[in-house]
Amino acid sequence: MTRYLLMAILTCASGVARAQDVLEVPTYGGSGLPADLYVVQPGDTLWDISTTFLGSSEYWPRLWSINDYITNPHWIYPGNHIVFVPGTLIEPPQVVLETTTPASAGGYVTPAVPFVERETPCGPDIHFDRSRSAVIYQAAGLLEDSQEVEVLGEVRAAHSGARFLSEGHLLYVGVDEERGLACGDVVSVLHRERRKVRKPGGKAYGALWRIAAEARVLHVEDGIATVQVRRSWSEVERGDQVSKVIPVTVQTEVSAPRGTLEGTIVARLQGEEAQLGFTGETVFVDRGRADGVRVGNAFWIVEQRDEFLDMYHEDEDLPRSVVGRLVVVRVDETSATGVVTDANRHVEEGARVVMRLD
């Protein structure tokens, strides 16, 4: 958590501030530069800190992406004074930790942190078994045969010179007039990432589509529909397909997996853009409605590996260890779309998923 406080403060300094972002702060240490002082409190959360410093809890992903060079959140604890001095063209931003410990003692002593000791329970190596109340998850991807996707048209042009299009842009979509698009209709814009997704050495599960945006039809004339992007999850490009609207967000509870199904993650929405999977990523599992999978089902992500001995291959002689959890947010006949809700290792295509370990 404390890591984000540093990021929030640093970002306020180094970014281009809007009027409403400017803080009225005193000077510090006779430097003549404005400063701000914050005492880290037990129970501080990323959302609260983002709201306090940036005016909205929704800024935390931006803070993370900009300040990922801050690597150790354990350097600051409740009670520390964090002093921020904004940078200038000559002096860079500074973060100073104040402490009552004499400089001769190293300038900082980690305070005692209360903890409760408990024994690790006997049984399989299970993590992420706590239930969570209903949360809204976002899965802007689709695994479906091209022939099964109901394509209504194709983005031919745009009322913009930009290569990549997003919210607010007008798109010109070539449509089949028999499809019956009319003003007010809502559609999805799809970008095909991969033509075929296959389980290693086996069955094909269709094309991998990225749901790039949601748009509203404004006008249809002579086979061209003018649509306006009202929400985008990634860039829209000319040549993308337009289909009936496909829901992207799902609200569901998450609990420990229940059942006996096992399967494989056959694709990740990020693909080669991100070498390592992460919490919140959309993944696709080779189990679907025909196997009894339903929205809200959970799977553990497991591995059998010692990365020191072999980073690329699993050892079937080792017991399965839980490295993450996913929740199903969309179900098709032979596959399911999931969101990684927890992870303590990277998640790869080909990773196995199970509902039980014993």
Q: Which residue has the tokens 């979509």?
A: 173
3-state SS of 27-93 is ECCCCCCECEEEECCCCCCHHHHHHHHHCCHHHHHHHHHHCCCCCCHHHCCCCCEEEEECCCCCCCC
**Domains in the chain: boundaries:** 2-105, 141-247, 250-354
* In the chain, % of residues over pLDDT 90: 39
Question: CB of 295 within 8 A of CB of 252?
Answer: yes
Does the domain spanning 250-354 belong to CATH 2.40.10?
Answer: yes
**CA 185 – CA 175 distance, rounded (Å):** 13
**For helices 46-54 and 2-14, what crossing angle results, to 10°?**
20
**pLDDT of res. 47:** 54
Token readout for 99 is 């402490």
- Per-residue pLDDT of 283-299, as tens digits, reads 999 999 999 999 999 99
Helix, strand, coil fractions of the chain, as percent rounded to 5: 15, 35, 50
In whole angstroms, what is the distance from residue 172 CA to residue 278 CA? 35
Q: How confident is the model at residue 83 (pLDDT cuts 50, 70, 90)?
A: very low
Residue 97's pLDDT is: 41
The CATH number for 141-247, chosen from 3.40.50, 3.30.2010, 2.30.29, 2.40.10, is 2.40.10
Give the tokens for residue 150.
């109901």
